[in-house]
């Protein structure tokens, strides 16, 4: 399984100035809307193993903005030589526009990753399965974990073995160990670290910032004993880039584990889509 880290590029570039060398080659997802408007070319650093570009449709949706599909197409074409996967411009809760955009991109000569949204008729997914061997699953992470499991039980019940799925924003361990995604993406590593947290060997915790507001004697003792990837408690407490490195390494370790021992899906649920026409 591949895990793509969202928004990690600026942190890689700035980490050495904070005394941390990441030294990690990893998979990166970056949104089209995150690049400066004047930037025509992507500079691909050597630490990127695989680069996925998405349109930024989710952020645009939450902010009430529209993305110009022709500008997105032009950006992809200018950078196709350094991009491994690019995602179609989709529109949340609007399957007609999502399908129209996919057609526009394909007619322009591109082969984007198509996207299927939670809540959309299962007929749309069945049509995608007929045409594509790699499909993105989106609009799921804002729902509860029980609903996500019911939805994914249904989805994986339809997916043939030769069709791969990418889960947008899915890095909950319960889901990753239950469903055989080919790839997923998330901002978990970055978000956890910048909020003062870390995870290591299955343990999650917060480390104290300089004001001591998150201080936990148990967490401090654990870090002092384990020294995650060579970092001391003080380093993890005071340096967010140290926490980012630990979280990235842990996520990549999880990806390796799930690649070597992928979950085997067992059909559990068949009724979720009965009410969706």
| CA 180 distance to own-chain centroid | 15
What three-state secondary structure class fits 72? helix
The domain 2-186 having CATH identifier 3.20.20.105: the answer here is yes
pLDDT of residue 213: 56
> Which own/partner pairs from 42-45 qualify as long-range (CB within 8 Å, at least 24 positions apart)?
42/79, 42/82, 42/83, 44/82, 45/9, 45/12, 45/13
Burial grade of 222 (CB within 10 A; 0-12, 13-18, 19 or more): middle
- What's the rounded Cα separation, in Å, for the pair 37 and 253? 35
Report the SS3 class of residue 176: helix
- C-alpha 146/C-alpha 126 separation (Å) is 23
pTM: 0.90
Tracing tokens 């500079």 back to the chain, one arrives at: 43
Closest to 89 in 3D by CA, of 64, 71, 109: 71
* Alpha-carbon span 57 to 63, nearest angstrom: 10
Q: What is the predicted pLDDT for the residue at 215?
A: 61
DSSP-derived secondary structure letter, 247: H
Q: Which residue has the tokens 């650093």?
A: 45
Alpha-carbon 144 to chain mean position: 18
Secondary structure string (H, E, C) spanning 138-158: ECCCCCCHHHHHHHHHHHHHH
Query: What does the alpha-carbon distance between residue 129 and residue 233 come to, in Å, rounded to a whole number?
Result: 49
**Burial profile 185-205: b = 16 or more Cβ within 10 angstroms, e = fewer:** bbebbbebbeebbbbbeeeeb
Measured CA to CA, the distance from residue 85 to residue 168 in angstroms comes to: 13
Instruction: Return per-residue pLDDT of the chain as tens, 277 residues.
Output: 999 999 898 899 899 999 999 988 999 999 998 888 878 889 898 999 999 999 988 777 777 788 999 999 999 999 999 999 999 999 988 999 999 999 999 999 999 999 999 989 999 999 999 999 999 999 888 788 999 999 999 999 889 989 999 999 998 889 999 999 999 998 999 999 998 999 999 888 888 565 555 667 888 888 999 999 999 999 999 999 999 999 999 999 999 999 999 998 876 544 544 444 3
The pLDDT value recorded for residue 209 is 62
């Amino acid at each position: 399984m591949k895990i793509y880290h969202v928004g990690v590029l600026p942190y890689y570039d700035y980490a050495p100035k904070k005394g941390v060398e990441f030294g990690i080659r990893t998979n990166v997802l970056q949104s089209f809307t995150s690049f400066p408007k004047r930037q025509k070319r992507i500079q691909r650093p050597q630490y990127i193993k695989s680069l996925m570009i998405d349109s930024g449709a989710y952020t645009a949706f939450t902010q009430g903005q529209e993305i110009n599909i022709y500008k997105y197409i032009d950006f992809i074409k200018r950078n196709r030589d350094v991009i491994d996967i690019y995602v179609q411009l989709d529109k949340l809760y609007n399957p007609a526009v999502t399908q129209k955009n996919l057609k526009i991109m394909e007619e322009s000569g591109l082969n984007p990753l198509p996207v299927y949204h939670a809540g959309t008729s299962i007929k749309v997914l069945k049509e995608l399965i007929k045409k594509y061997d790699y499909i993105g699953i989106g609009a799921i992470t804002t729902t509860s974990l029980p609903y996500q499991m019911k939805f994914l039980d249904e989805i994986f019940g339809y997916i043939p073995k030769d069709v791969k799925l990418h889960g947008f924003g899915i890095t909950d361990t319960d889901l990753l160990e239950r469903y055989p995604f080919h790839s997923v993406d998330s901002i978990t590593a970055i978000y956890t670290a910048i909020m003062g947290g870390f995870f290591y060997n299955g343990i999650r915790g917060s480390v104290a910032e300089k004001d001591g507001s998150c201080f936990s004697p148990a967490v401090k003792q654990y870090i002092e004993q384990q020294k995650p990837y060579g970092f001391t408690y003080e380093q993890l407490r005071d340096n967010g880039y140290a926490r980012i490195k630990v979280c990235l390494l842990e996520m990549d370790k999880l990806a390796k584990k799930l690649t070597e021992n992928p979950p085997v899906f067992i059909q559990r649920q068949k009724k979720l889509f009965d009410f969706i026409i």
